[in-house]
Copies of this chain bind each other. A is one copy, B any other.
Amino acid sequence: MHVGTSQVLSNKLKEEIWSHKDEVDTIIGYILEGDGHHGSYKRLARITDGFGHRVSGSEALEDSIDFVMAEMEAEGFTNVHGEDFQMPNWQRGEDSCELIEPRRVKMPLLASGSSISTPLGGITAEVVVVRSFDELADLDRSETEGKIVVYNQPYEGYGTSTAYRGHGATKASEKGAVAALVRSITQFSVNSPHTGQQYYQEGVEDIPTGCITVEDAEMLWRMQESGQSMVIHLDMTSLTDGMMTTRNLVGDLEGTSFPDEYVVVGGHLDSWDVGTGAMDDGGGCAISWEAMVIIKKLGLTPKRTLRTVLWSAEEQGLLGGVAYYEQNQDLVPNVSIMMESDSGTFRPLGIGFSGSDEARAIMREILDMTSALNATQLGSEGSSPDTGDWVRAGVPGGNLINQNDDYFIFHHSEGDRMTVQDADEMDLCTALWTSVAYVVADLDELLPREDNSRK
């Protein structure tokens, strides 16, 4: 047992946790060596091979939601339903980007989510390349006005570099630019463009924006450095056409003692419209859904309700997560833990956790109990894109720490395919995810919070 946190817990509680050791071993054995072998991988393949990408607003997303709901019904889960919400109806058009001078080069382009289109016939403009917002700020307005600003920012981690996609258009527009092209946010490229959401700012003129490849951004930078002037023709028809409706998906395995208390596991079923969203976030959906299936198949009967939520419209700015919270926040006192996996399902390393010291000590015990999986890290942050509101409201949060060094090579690109996923690694993720969810759902008490409040 873990020194340093174990004294927080009473012996009685520790005994209660460890009384689940047999069930946990059963879960792990079922997945690694039993009928559950490669179950989450196969489940994910049915979604990705069957429906392809599932961008919000697409028929494929709605079809895949219907598919999962029908499966969940057939699997005997209860309360299976969708929860509608509204979102902007942004549609990717036919977008193209061509270097005209000094040499004609067709450059792969992915418009950034929410980008406006170019005027009919496109934009032909000179190019100025910068490597940072600071470099842009240092330019005289005459050097940017009427031009296409290209950001060739180095990759300094997703959290940092993503600001260029998110706000590059606004910053360029403030300097009078007519469009902004952003180097794809990745550490490794095979000339692969990566997309993602961008955010206009009120009071600043909207200009079209999208991502080009690392290779092209670097080429434009070299051309500028060698004194060549560049002209790009940009033609984009992507646009936002009013609002539309999509759904979060909910399905329950009802608790035997506290049916109105919840352990929520999930991921977001929507993806970007490139690749098939196997990694982002099909994997998180698959291990969550599979967790519920396994617990039911093994005849385990957790005391409180195990709920799978598959959020939608995460990619457009966590819209599904926000909607689910708004529509269900009366459950804040009733949710023992909100677990979302949305940073890959590579080899699991542990669980990120947000919650009280006592709750953390409980998680520590559970991870010690599942140490056969070699995934015993207990991270200090358990929030996840779609669970942030819940965690901020005091609900304990859990996420999956995994060996996801390659995550951003595939993220939001055509490379987000089943090939990224490893069935054995997914088994380990599923075993960890299922064990943690099951034990927390079966404890006598909700995970304790800072203020010891209980509904």
Contacts and interface: CB of A to CB of B under 8 A. Distances in A.
Interface in A408-452: 409-410, 413-415, 417-419
Contacts of A105: 52
A251 to B, nearest CB: 23
A112 B92 CA distance: 31
A215 B49 contact: no
B222 A414 contact: no
A218 interface: yes
Interface stretch (A186-194, A204-212, A379-387): A186-194
Contacts of A226: 45-46, 49
Contact of A415 (B49, B102, B190, B410): B190
Contact of A52 (B45, B103, B410, B413): B103
A418 to B, nearest CB: 7
A275 interface: yes
A139 B105 CA distance: 45
B219 A417 contact: yes
A415 B191 contact: yes
B49 A222 contact: yes
Interface residues of A, number: 30
Given A103-B52, A417-B215, A419-B214, A190 B45 contact: no
A226 B415 CA distance: 23
Interface in A395-409: 409
B418 A218 contact: yes
A140 B65 CA distance: 40
A222 B191 CA distance: 27
A76 interface: no
Interface string A264-296: 000000000001000000000000000000000
B52 A191 contact: no
Number of copies of chain A assembled together: 2
Nearest to A414: B191
A346 to B, nearest CB: 15
A50 interface: yes
A393 interface: no
Interface in A210-240: 214-215, 218-219, 222-223, 226
Interface string A176-190: 000000000000011
A215 B50 contact: no
Nearest to A409: B190
Contacts of A192: 190-192, 415
A215 B52 contact: no
A419 B103 contact: no
Given A222-B418, A419-B215, A191 B413 contact: yes
B222 A413 contact: no
Which has the most chain B C-beta neighbours within 10 Å: A51, A102, A414?
A: A414
A329 B105 CA distance: 40
Nearest to A217: B419
B190 A413 contact: yes
A125 to B, nearest CB: 20
Nearest to A45: B222
Nearest to A278: B215
Q: Top 7 A-B pairs ranked by shortest CB distance?
A: A190-B415, A191-B414, A215-B417, A190-B192, A190-B190, A215-B419, A191-B415
Given A189-B419, A215-B415, 19 more contacts: A45-B222, A45-B226, A46-B226, A49-B103, A50-B103, A52-B103, A108-B414, A189-B415, A190-B190, A190-B409, A190-B410, A190-B413, A190-B414, A191-B192, A191-B275, A191-B415, A192-B192, A215-B417, A219-B418
8 contacts: A49-B103, A49-B226, A52-B105, A108-B414, A189-B190, A189-B419, A191-B192, A192-B415
Interface of A: 45-46, 49-52, 102-103, 105, 108, 189-192, 214-215, 218-219, 222-223, 226, 275, 409-410, 413-415, 417-419
